[in-house]
Amino acid sequence: MHLVAIGECMVELAPAGDALFAMGFAGDTFNTAWYMRRLLPAAARVSYLSAVGKDALSDRMVDFMAAEGIAVDHVQRVPGRSVGLYLIQVTDGERSFAYWRSCSAARLLAEDPARLDLALAGADLIYLSGITLAILGADARSRLSAALARARAAGSKVAFDPNIRPALWSDPATMLQSISGMAAGADIVLPSYDDEARHFGDPDPVATAQRYAGNGAALVVVKDGPKPVVTWQAGRSDRHPVPVLTMPVVDTTAAGDSFNAGFLASYLSGENLGNAVAAGTSVAGRVIAGPGALVRDAVARIG
Ligand code: ADP
């Protein structure tokens, strides 16, 4: 099994006492890669396709990825740029995020088609999100789509989480068009219903699944917080209840990212749809019972 996740990992600064912040590393597609690395057998290869700077902070991020078992051969080094950063603030128990990412090196991850082909060669699964698309310019998005199409023609499967974040896009029309375009070139689409309802106006999760299936995806898996996961495959829709949590919700960061990891690791290991959804909800349920995006004790290796 060879997985390649594409996107941006950022420095995370989380409150750690009076005027102190703890530094970590996270980012939606990176979180999914990290969980998949922990779920898949040791022989599987999990690689991250991204770009960072040549500075000391970028070095620390790449060292962290490598120490976590993620292959960094295709994390490109861009001189004169650095990694993005976000700071978590907690006011009256509510978390909010401030981002510094507009000039990050990751925005240049799709400049060179030959580099993309090399990074994607031999991948069984390629994973990316709407955030991956949002940080790229229009030309880079086209280069990435073309590289994904070549990889699919060579036998890779593509999984895409629309992860709709309007603040990262220049305008809503470009956002919706780019997301629909990428979903049309994906085998598996993993949307979250609340985002889809807000931006595409879907009346229910089945409508979301049907829209992406109509676009061309062979399998659509719609997440909806504690409500049932809706799957759509071969013209058939199924509802999979999410088990009631046995632990209180502490922090829902990375619920969707970790669900995707659990689902994909299980589905690609040959499990049926129902079991793969159960693997996704089980990982996500444990992740939201712990603080932060990367919850170490939320997962145990499959096989
Ligand atoms: P996202 O983080 O992308 O918005 P969701 O909120 O839809 O994703 O949640 C993804 C998954 O996390 C759900 O399918 C479910 O398995 C789990 N989850 C999220 N919130 C809860 C909750 N309150 N109770 C149980 N499971 C939850």
Q: Give the span between the Cα atoms of 121 and 147, in whole angstroms.
A: 10
The one-character DSSP state at 245 is P
- Residue 147 and residue 116 in contact, taking contact as beta carbons nearer than 8 Å: yes
Report pLDDT for 93: 74
DSSP-assigned letter for residue 218: S
CB-CB neighbours of 92 under 10 Å: 4
- Averaged in consecutive runs of 10 residues, what is the pLDDT profile of the chain (303 residues)? 97 91 96 97 97 98 98 98 93 86 96 98 98 97 98 98 97 98 98 98 98 96 98 97 92 94 97 98 94 85 55
Query: How many whole angstroms from 265 Cα to the centroid of ligand 1?
Result: 17
Pocket perturbation via mutation, ligand 1, pick of 131, 189, 247, 281 by most ligand atoms within 8 A of CB: 281
Q: What's the pLDDT at 19? A: 86
Q: What contacts 206, CB < 8 A, 6 or more positions away? A: 222, 230, 232, 237
pLDDT at 224: 98
Cα 37 to middle of ligand 1, angstroms: 21
Set 161, 202, 224, 257: catalytic member: 257
CA 284 to ligand 1 center in whole angstroms = 7
Separation of alpha carbons 302 and 39, rounded Å: 5
Tell me, in angstroms, the distance from the centre of ligand 1 to residue 162's CA. 15
User: Is 124 one of the catalytic residues?
Assistant: no
Looking at the whole model, is its pTM more than 0.75?
Answer: yes
Structure-block tokens of residue 94: 């509510």
Q: Which residues surround ligand 1 with Cβ inside 6 Å?
A: 192, 223-226, 229, 242, 245, 249, 252, 255-256, 259, 281, 284-285, 288
- Atom 26 in ligand 1: which residue has the minimum CA distance? 226
Distances (CA, A) of 111 to 46, 97, 103, 106, 108: 22, 29, 15, 10, 6
Number of alpha helices (DSSP H) and beta strands (DSSP E) in the chain: 10, 13
Residue of the nearest CA to atom 22 in ligand 1?
226
Tell which atom from ligand 1 comes closest to the C-alpha of 280.
Answer: 16
* Cα–Cα dist 199/141, whole Å: 20
Is residue 40 helix, strand or coil?
Answer: coil
Note the pLDDT of residue 303. 47
